[in-house]
């Protein structure tokens, strides 16, 4: 077996519309309805879109994690541009930064990151990739 890439991930949330609004308004993701009224969030440039599916904690789509729980995720999202611009945007939107900017190691090398929380308490890391000659191994 040879894995190629992560296609999508699922967040279990308490309130799908509230989560859609936060990810749309704060992070600029594009909501999408698919299937039988399911909800996803898209981001990234055309042809390279990434997707997060949202499942309601009250009625998660089966099959699902053994214990789908809002607020149990820890995500790292790479950004375009300098982390300072993200800090300014978050401040303009009244979003609290929990930590950062700090140096971390991502899948492809060094990162400069800030951390914040979504409405369910999930930890969201926004990361600027730094130039590297080696490969990373996670946070």
Closest by CA to 11, choosing from 135, 136, 118, 139, is 118
Query: Mean pLDDT in the chain?
Result: 93
Q: How many CB atoms lie within 10 A of CB 39?
A: 19
pLDDT digits (tens, 9 = 90+) for 8-51: 999 999 999 999 999 999 999 999 999 999 999 999 998 889 99
Q: Which two tokens stand for residue 93?
A: 């939107």
Active-site residues: which are they?
125
The CA–CA distances, whole Å, from 59 to 21, 70, 120, 139 equal: 20, 12, 16, 32
pTM of the model: 0.90
Q: Which two tokens stand for residue 35?
A: 């299937």
Domain-wise residue ranges, the chain? 8-129
Cα–Cα distance, 33 to 70 (Å, whole number) = 20
- Give me the CATH topology for the region 8-129: 2,3-Dihydroxybiphenyl 1,2-Dioxygenase; domain 1 (3.10.180)
Cα–Cα distance, 70 to 60 (Å, whole number) = 11
pLDDT digits (tens, 9 = 90+) for 62-96: 999 999 999 999 999 999 999 999 999 999 999 99
């Amino acid at each position: 077996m040879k894995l190629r890439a992560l296609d999508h991930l699922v967040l279990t949330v308490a309130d799908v519309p509230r989560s859609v609004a936060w990810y749309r308004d704060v992070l600029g993701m594009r909501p999408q309805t698919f299937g039988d009224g399911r909800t996803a969030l898209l981001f990234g440039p055309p042809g390279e879109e990434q997707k997060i599916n949202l499942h309601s904690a009250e009625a998660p789509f089966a099959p699902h994690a053994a214990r789908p729980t809002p607020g149990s995720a820890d995500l790292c999202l790479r950004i375009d541009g300098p982390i300072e611009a993200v800090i300014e945007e978050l401040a303009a939107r009244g979003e609290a930064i929990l930590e950062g900017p700090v140096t971390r190691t991502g899948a492809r090398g060094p990162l400069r990151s800030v951390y914040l929380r979504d409405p369910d308490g999930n930890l969201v890391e926004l990361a600027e990739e730094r130039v590297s000659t080696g490969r990373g191994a996670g946070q």
